Amino acid sequence: MEFVTGKPVSARLGLAAQLKFFMAYGFFVQDRSAIPADGISYLAEQLGFDDDTPSEYDFGGRTARRHCAEILQYLGFRRLQRAARAELTLWIAGELCPTGQSVGAMLEQVFLWCRDRCIYGPSHKELERLVRSQRQQYLDNWLTGVSARLSASTVALLEASIADPDGQTGFNTMRGDAGQASLDDILSMTAKLAFIQKLDLPRDILSTIGKAWVEQIVRRVAGEKAWEMRRHTPARQIGLYAICLLSREAQLTDAMVDLLTETVHKIGTRSKRMVSDIAKDIERVYGKERLLVEIASASINEPAGRVCDVIFPIVGKDKLAAIVKESQAKGALDRRIYRVMRSSWASHYRRMLPSLLSVLEFRSNNTVWRPVLVALDWIRSKVDDGCRFVPMQDVPIDEVIPARWRSSVIDDDGRVNRISYELCVLTQLRDRIRSKEIWVVGADRYRNPDDDLQGLRNPA
């Protein structure tokens, strides 16, 4: 307090603000606007001044610079020497750089490091150059290490992708969006995923560096053109592209699952629209549940009575006939819908099945839905088999085919229509993925739900 009150009245509040700001952040303020208004008000109250008093103090003037030197002497700070600078450089490289913080955030930490050791560092610009230099050197060294871990075949594939950016697995193509739920887009997505899986990139690479670095690398690669990528040194070029593809694999897997679920849904909705003419002919009978309760009550009260005496007074013969007709029409409608769905799947969308099953791996933590996974494995094993009908005993049936699908999947001779079976299994798969009963290996949004629970139990 004596250090501040010993100065002229007009300089006390500005000096106090500089002192407290330096003690908190490790550097001096150059503009009054950088000091919180609440802090100014508190200091003014402690010194008995009005809030407007610091406006007379020039934080960038000669007096302020002299005050800064006096503050350093008062607090016992010393200049940054060579040994301390070397220690600071090692600390930046070992502690700050791996986190991937921005240059501004790293500078704040550097100033605090100096403050805690009673060291007054060089100018803000000089420290910023030091931080940027160490940051860039750390990234270059890490990318070189990533490139060194890749096999020669992987490097050759990455170089070919950059050299032919518009090819099927070219640099520009790999950065493209998923597109709509169409056969061509699904085949394109499976080609991208197959390419990344073929690279066989080390999965532990991303765990050796901060998540912020990965996000920065992905943004950088996404913003560069192929010719700009080729301007990097070979090691840096391959390292950047490999990290981008590793991070993109989860995004592509999510997009692939989205396309799968949307396609299966689209097959069903289109089929329903195509047979809507049958639905228009159905005469709906309303209040069937109420009628059922009244019929049941009347039957219990008069179990020996005749239908014409007990039932018909509640619901007439015509209405009963309408209910039967509605039920039969609905059954015919469902069968017609399944036939149209099967036709759409067999004639067009079925071509995506081999590629789809080759890049996506489904799993479940619920034993109830394991039969669906077994059915998928059976379909995967029969991809190259041209048989259309198979015996029931050779195919997983229980807990796979719902009752409403059985007449469409299994014929009168007890044989399973393979095309209908595939569509039925994919429909079941879509419903289970949406409810997270089945998850996808390598996905992000469709990942193992147990991973989310572990995150809740062990928050960072």
Q: What is the pLDDT along the chain (460 residues), one digit of tens a residue?
A: 667 666 666 677 777 777 777 777 777 777 777 777 777 777 776 776 765 555 567 777 777 778 777 777 777 778 888 888 899 999 999 999 998 889 989 988 888 888 888 888 777 888 899 999 999 999 999 999 999 999 999 999 999 999 999 988 899 988 887 777 788 888 888 889 999 999 989 888 888 888 899 999 999 998 999 999 999 999 999 999 999 999 888 888 998 898 888 888 888 887 777 666 555 555 566 676 777 777 788 788 887 778 777 777 877 777 777 767 666 555 555 667 777 787 888 888 888 888 888 899 999 998 888 889 999 999 888 887 778 888 888 888 888 888 888 888 888 888 888 888 888 899 999 999 998 999 999 888 999 988 877 654 555 4
Report how far apart, in Å, the C-alpha atoms of 27 and of each of 19, 42, 76 are.
Answer: 10, 20, 14
The whole-model pTM stands at 0.69
Q: How far, in whole angstroms, is CA 179 from its chain's centroid?
A: 17
What Cα–Cα distance (Å) separates residue 415 from each residue in 173, 198, 359, 398, 408? 44, 38, 30, 15, 11
| Domain ranges for the chain | 2-76, 79-146, 150-271, 279-349, 361-456
CA–CA separation, 301 and 297 (whole Å): 6
Secondary-structure percent of the chain, ordered helix, strand, coil, rounded to 5: 70, 5, 25
Interstrand relation of 119-120 and 78-79 (parallel, antiparallel or unpaired)? parallel
Q: Which helix (H) or strand (E) holds 390?
A: strand 389-391
Cα–Cα dist 426/305, whole Å: 50
Which residues lie below 8 Å from residue 132, measured CB to CB, with a gap of 6+? 103
Do the Cβ atoms of 455 and 447 come closer than 8 Å? Answer: no
Q: Which residue in the block uniquely carries the two structure tokens 């062990």? A: 458
Choose among 405, 424, 421, 444: nearest CA to 258. Answer: 444
Cα-based angle 397, 401, 404 (whole degrees, multiple of 5):
140
What residues have CB less than 8 Å from 268, skipping those under 6 apart? 337, 341, 427
User: Which tokens hold the place of 192?
Assistant: 């991208």
